[in-house]
Structures are given as structure tokens and as C-alpha cells.
Amino acid sequence: MDLLLLKTFLKVADVGNITKAASVLFVTQSAVSRRIKQLEESVGRPLLMRNGTSLVPTDAGYLLIDKGRKILALEQEFRLGLGIGKAKQKISFCSTPSLGIDRLPGVLTSFISDHAETVDMNCIFTMPEEALAGIDSGRFDLALVEHCDEIELKDRITHPLPDDEVVFISAPTLGITGDITTIDRLLGERLYLKNANGCAKRFIDKNLRGIGRACGEFSNAVYFDDFSFILREVLAGKGISFVSSALFSEGLLNGKLRAHRVSGFNHYRPRTLILGRQELSPHHKIFIDYLFAEFGLTRSVNRLCDERSSVVKLLSAGRPLPV
């Protein structure tokens, strides 16, 4: 039995959702679905069935959960017996959710594939405030955040990344024409967002306040923590969403979705890499290399780490950072 397929199945069974499992595993939803299908073909039985909005194990699935956990425990015991997995470098990393779903799967897949024998990677999706608190407490070594609204980065070790474009999206059947539209045209539609306290909600609130409007003026708002559900509803012409354009780039390119920008809105939110004050290991530097490559950055990681050391010395001495 392919252990990668087994581990994927156990994660889906644990969270009950393909999208959430893909986020945790840092792969695409289609990759998770493909692995489950391959495993079911190997076993010769359905392993999951839909119950409302969740996936639950079949009888064969429950049996595989029981036996599969024992298989993975034996694998771990074997690896430890060989001395594999001992004294690995730990990297604790966090990211805001949409940034993680959009840009990190390829980075993490490549990095973990290349360094699985020497690194234990702990990745968390969270909001900017928790990311900053985790950096300050030493819980996270690195954080990658989108600026939902104003966040305080003074006296922090940071490096800017390319901005993220956030747009309204709709299906052509809604009849919203043109790249530029008015907020009045959009307020009559149902608005789908992932989370009532998420980055997209906070970013749209900030923009609306800037033009004297409020989110409560939309026809109604639906919050659903599943991008695939939101995509299906928007494609069906049931409403609009306010999302990172990169997340739905395929639909925008093939014409199944339209992107809309509003005069007076700031559609670009900054992204920032934040470094902890702990000493960075060679593996941390390699991981930053992978991140920089994903964003098309060519800046020297060693130079960044040298600057980090200078900043840490200033902060440790109680001196402010130069402006």
C-alpha cells in the first residue's frame, strides 16, 4: 500500500473535507481527490461517502483507519530503529490562509521532498495578529502574512513580498460588465466570504469605510469556510465574492468568472515575510530561498540574515530600528 495515499486518506477522514485536508497537507484539492481515488481503486472498495457537507468513512474506510494507523506506527518504529528521523531540524512556520493556499503548496511540496530526512516542518494557517504573537513568543520561526488591515510591524525583522490583488468576482450570467464597476452595482448582490473575521472581510470593511459605505449594505452575506463551495456558488450565478485574484485565476482566464474593481478601492494588500529573533539555521535559509524563488525574488538570503542579525543586536540593546 502506498503510504502517501494512506496518509492522505487518514487526514481526509480526520477533517471530513477535501479542501481542509488539502490545506493541511499543502497540496491542491485535485491532488487529494486523485490520491483518494487511487487508494479506493487499490483497495477495491469505496472508503468515503458524503453525509451532508462532510465526508465520512464507509465500513471499509473505518477498517482502513484502524489498520492504517497501525501501519504508520510500524513505519515510524522502523525508521526510528534505523536512526532516521532523529535530531531533525525543526522549522515552525505560519501563514495567513489565502496566501498559504495560493502560494505555499508548491514551495512546501518541493522543500519537504528535498529535505524530508533532515527537517521536521510545522506549518500553521492563522490570522496576522496570532502570527505576530507567535513570532514574539518564539512559537514561530518565520511568518508569511497578508495585511488584512493595519498591523504593527515596528521593531520587527521583515522583508516585503509582492502585493496581493483582491477583486470582486462574478459569473457572466450575473451581467456585471466591465473591469471597473460601481459599489452600488455590487451591493445588490449576495456576498460570499470565507470567514466573518478573516482577512478578506477585514480588507473589504477597510475599503468600504474609505468610501463611506458598509458591508451590511450588501443584499446579504454568506460565510462558508470552504473555497470550493464559494466557487461553486459564484459560478452558478448566486452571488459574488471578494478574493485574491490568484486563487481563482483559472476561472478568470477561461472566462467562467469575471473580475471587478471598484473606483475608490485599494485592491492591493501588502505581503510580508517576518523573521523571528531566534538564530536561523542553514535549513531556515534554504526554506527562505524556496519562498523567494516562488515570489520571483533574487535578493540574497545571506544578506537578509545578516541584516536580521544587526536588527536583533539593536533590539536586544533596547535601541530603535533606523527608519
* Ramachandran assignment for 21, one of left (phi > 0), alpha (psi -120 to 50 degrees), beta (any other): alpha
C-alpha cell at 69: 494507523
Q: Tens-of-pLDDT digits for all 323 residues of the chain?
A: 788 899 999 989 988 888 888 766 767 788 889 999 999 999 999 999 998 888 999 999 999 999 999 998 888 788 777 765 556 788 999 999 888 888 888 888 888 878 877 888 888 888 898 999 898 888 899 999 998 877 888 878 888 999 999 999 999 999 998 899 999 999 999 999 988 888 899 999 999 999 999 999 998 999 988 888 999 999 999 999 999 998 888 899 999 999 999 989 999 999 999 998 767 788 888 899 888 888 888 765 666 655 555 554 444 445 554 54
Of 167, 152, 160, 166, nearest in space to 270 by CA: 160
Strand stretches in the chain, DSSP E: 48-51, 54-57, 89-95, 119-125, 142-146, 157-170, 180-181, 190-193, 220-223, 240-244, 258-262, 268-275
CB 142, CB 285: distance < 8 Å = no
Q: Specify the pLDDT at position 306.
A: 59
Which residue type does 105 have?
Answer: P
Sign of CA dihedral 64, 84, 291, 96: positive
Of 23, 10, 56, nearest in space to 228 by CA: 23
Q: Specify the pLDDT at position 323.
A: 47
pTM over 0.85: no
Q: Specify the pLDDT at position 314.
A: 45
Distance, in Å, from the CA atom of 286 to the CA atom of 199, rounded to the nearest integer, reads: 29
- Pairing verdict, β 48-51 and 220-223: unpaired
Q: Specify the pLDDT at position 171.
A: 96
Q: Specify the pLDDT at position 136.
A: 86
Distance, in Å, from the CA atom of 128 to the CA atom of 125, rounded to the nearest integer, reads: 10
* Ramachandran assignment for 208, one of left (phi > 0), alpha (psi -120 to 50 degrees), beta (any other): alpha
Domains and CATH numbers, the chain: 3-81 (1.10.10.10), 89-163+270-316 (3.40.190.10), 164-269 (3.40.190.10)
Q: Specify the pLDDT at position 315.
A: 45
Paired strand residues for 164: 269
Distance, in Å, from the CA atom of 317 to the CA atom of 311, rounded to the nearest integer, reads: 10
Strand stretches in 96-246, DSSP E: 119-125, 142-146, 157-170, 180-181, 190-193, 220-223, 240-244
Distance, in Å, from the CA atom of 153 to the CA atom of 155, rounded to the nearest integer, reads: 6
CB 240, CB 183: distance < 8 Å = no
Contacts with 217 (C-beta within 8 Å, 6 or more apart), sequence order: 187, 208
Phi, psi of 237 (to 5 degrees): 80, 25
Report pLDDT digits (tens) over 210-226.
999 999 999 899 998 88
Report pLDDT digits (tens) over 69-80.
999 888 878 877
